[in-house]
Amino acid sequence: MTHDNKLQVEAIKCGTVIDHIPAHVGFKLLTLFKLTETDNRVTIGLNLPSNELGRKDLIKIENTFLTEEQANQLAMYAPKATVNRIENYEVVRKLTLGLPERIDGVLDCPNSNCISRGEQVTSGFAVRTRQGNVLLKCKYCEKEFDHQAVMQNI
């Protein structure tokens, strides 16, 4: 507990702290989920020492709260992340993540023949796991992909 005891990024009064993000994934989350498209203060810690993960990333967004569903969308990239709700400097809620059943509007289908490609349609994937692997099935072409294949083009 040596490292995690000291606050490595300044405490916030009110908002969301996404903690225990794998190192190098924090930046991806910021762009993918457009977390910086806000006027609220966002503070970021990258490659912070962590006992559990070795190195971790951390994102704090003031005056913003994520729904459970929004939080779960992060699980694919950061399955060990915790999403903390801070009010009046106190952690009032700590969500550990579960995989969502669906991921809509974030990822593009890797199938170049898919009708969703190049169209103004909202992408959608059903999520399931097979032997610890996360698989995504496109609702348009119904092809199923390893999640890595879908994430590659981000």
Q: Is 11 helix (H, G, I), strand (E, B) or coil?
A: coil
Q: What does the angle CA 27 – CA 31 – CA 32 come to, to the nearest 5 degrees?
A: 110
Nearer to ligand CTP by Cβ, of 7 and 113: the residue is 7
* Residue 91 interacting with ligand CTP (CB under 6 A): yes
Q: Which residues in 93-152 contact ligand CTP (CB under 6 A)?
A: 94
Binding segment for Zn ion (CB under 5 A), chosen from 13-21, 63-71, 83-91, 112-120, is: 112-120
Taking only Cα atoms into account, the Rg of the chain, rounded to an integer number of angstroms, comes to: 17
* 144: contact with Zn ion by CB under 5 A: no
Binding segment for ligand CTP (CB under 6 A), chosen from 5-13, 31-39, 61-69, 121-129, is 5-13
Q: Are 74 and 83 in contact (CB under 8 A)?
A: yes
For 21, which DSSP code?
A: E
Site string for ligand CTP, 26-65 (x = CB under 6 A): --------------------------------x-x-----
Measured in degrees and rounded to the nearest 5, phi and psi for residue 71 equal -60, -40
Give the H/E segment covering residue 135: strand 133-138
Judged by CB under 5 A, which of 109, 127, 134, 136 binds Zn ion? Answer: 109
For residues 47 and 116, give the distance between their C-alpha atoms in angstroms, rounded to a whole number.
36
Which positions touch ligand CTP (CB under 6 A)? 4, 7, 11-12, 17, 19, 58, 60, 82, 84, 86, 89, 91, 94
